[in-house]
Amino acid sequence: MELKRVVVTGLGAVTPVGNNPEETWKNLLAGKSGAAPITHFDTTNFKTTFACEVKDLNVNDYLDRKEARKLDRFTQLAMIAAMQGVNDSGLDLENEDKNRIGVVYGVGIGGIKTFEEEVSYYALHREDGPKFNPFFIPKMIADIASGQISIHFGFHGPNYTTTSACASSSNALADAFNLIRLGKANVIVGGGAEAAICESGIGGFNALHALSTRNDDPEHASRPFSASRDGFIMGEGAGCLILEELEHAKARGAKIYAEMVGEGASADAYHITASHPEGLGAKLVMRNALEDAGMKPEDIDYINVHGTSTHVGDLSEAIAIKDVFGEHAYKLNISSTKSMTGHLLGAAGAVEAMACVLSVKNDIVPPTINHEEDDKDPELDYNMNFTFNKAQKREVRAALSNTFGFGGHNCCVVFKKYAE
């Protein structure tokens, strides 16, 4: 059986640095930070008081007010990104076979804010018996993002949500890619969403000592590959990539951003929250992705790293890249867009895949911001090009995106320039 080719024909994004793909991309290239003091709740007693929130988004520009109230914030963001992506793709939904269009989204946590509100109310009113909102469960469950998108558009193809913590939406794109190349669908609305900037989200990650506590300087807190990095910055948002079978895209005259050519998955099998110090799972996942794409390490010009700004994570990923790419590790560009967006958890893979697609399309690499010359980690090799502080124009024939999740889940996706 011959595998079909898969291309990207539409993009959608709601991120801490922009409420659509164009604005997000412009601000990523400009090196703009999305970090600021938290506005979603009172942070008075919290160790971390800042995050990367989505800003100035009017949900009711996209969703009916009454319907929006039935959705947790992560699903609202998921649907908005999907609406943007479908619109951008130019799909003629009146004439498409909707039985051949599916939705696969990645969500790491799901409706944690809804859970927090409902359980908090019950805890305070236990003597009255169980009184829960009838939408409590359907608002909270992670799969509802994919479900709501399919209901909105009437898409009857494969429909589910992938959960692998911070690798969730890379896994969603990998599954979407495989479904199309195996002939199970013509189009998949792929992506991811997360909205965990709430008391239990921030408090829970603080308890793990995972978040930066640089409360006096939020904009410069996310500093991947710098010696003074002290944890990740929580982000929220959603990303969407419309993946489409090549011949189907050509037949309708679709614009093509890039071709998706490979995916890889692996497990560290090491620790629930820490990556393997020697990057064993990271090496394995990149090799798996390159093999799947039929590419050599020298074919990759840009790696959008997981790069969360944690001590062990950044170091082990850099070690893995050197091991997999050898001498070519010094010729390619590496950057962490999390230095600007923060860590979007379940949505990270989708937003970072979009950054790879646009990098391939436009031959420019977004930067890793917040690095200072006197802030070098002696354990890191700065002969590697981390694209510090300023976007770099260069030919980007192909780009690889890494995502590594709590639990030791690793997923990697590869995009290259589309050619006939």
User: Residue 85 and residue 184: Cα distance in Å, rounded?
Assistant: 21
Per residue in 77-107, pLDDT (tens digit) is 999 999 999 999 999 999 999 999 999 999 9
What is the C-alpha separation between 76 and 67, in angstroms, rounded?
A: 10
pTM of this prediction?
A: 0.98
**Mean pLDDT over residues 44-62, rounded?**
98
The torsion defined by the Cα of 311, 390, 302 and 180, in degrees rounded to 10, comes to 100
- Mean pLDDT value of segment 22-34: 98
Structure tokens at 63: 């969703």
Q: What is the DSSP string of 111-126?
A: -HHHHHHHHHHHHHTG
pLDDT at 95: 96
Mean pLDDT of the chain, nearest integer: 98
> Is 90 exceeded by the pLDDT of residue 6?
yes
The candidate with the shortest Cα–Cα distance to 337, out of 324, 321, 356, is 356
Distance CA 317, CA 301 (A): 17
At 166, give phi and psi (nearest 5°): -70, -10
What average pLDDT does this structure show over 35-59? 98
Q: Considering 220, 248, 306, 409, which one is annotated as catalytic?
A: 306
pLDDT of residue 73: 98
Local structure of 316: helix, strand or coil: helix
Mean pLDDT of 322-345: 98
CA 35 – CA 31 distance, rounded (Å)? 12
289-313 CB burial, b ≥16 within 10 A, e <16: bbebbebebebbbbbbbbbbbbeeb
Say if CB 180 and CB 260 are below 8 A apart: no
Amino acid at 37: P
Residue 211 burial (10 A CB sphere; 0-12, 13-18, 19+)? buried
3-state SS, residue 343:
strand
Contact 346, 106 (CB under 8 A): yes
Question: What SS3 state is found at 198?
Answer: coil
Q: Is 209 noted as a catalytic residue in this protein?
A: no
Q: Which of 52, 166, 198, 240 is catalytic?
A: 166
> Can you give the pLDDT at residue 1?
84
**Distance (Å, whole) CA 302 – CA 394:** 10
Give the separation between CA 226 and CA 211, rounded to whole angstroms.
16
Our answer to whether residue 166 is catalytic in this structure is: yes
- Domains defined for the chain, CATH in brackets: 6-416 (3.40.47.10)
306 is catalytic: yes
Contacts of 305 (CB under 8 A, 6+ apart): 224, 317, 321, 334, 335, 336, 402
**Active-site entry in 276, 343, 371, 409:** 343
Inform me whether the pLDDT recorded for 321 exceeds 90: yes
pLDDT at 266 over 90: yes
Give the separation between CA 63 and CA 78, rounded to whole angstroms: 12
For 167-189, write each residue's pLDDT tens digit: 999 999 999 999 999 999 999 99
Give the tokens for residue 302.
């840009």
138-170 confidence digits (pLDDT tens):
999 999 999 999 999 999 999 999 999 999 999
Please answer whether residues 103 and 148 qualify as being in contact, where contact means their C-beta atoms are separated by less than 8 angstroms.
Answer: no
Please check the confidence at residue 116 and state whether its pLDDT lies above 90: yes
pLDDT digit string (tens) for 189-226?
A: 999 999 999 999 999 999 999 999 999 999 999 999 99
Q: CB 394: neighbour CB atoms within 10 A?
A: 16
Nearest Cα to Cα of residue 197 among 66, 367, 347, 310: 347
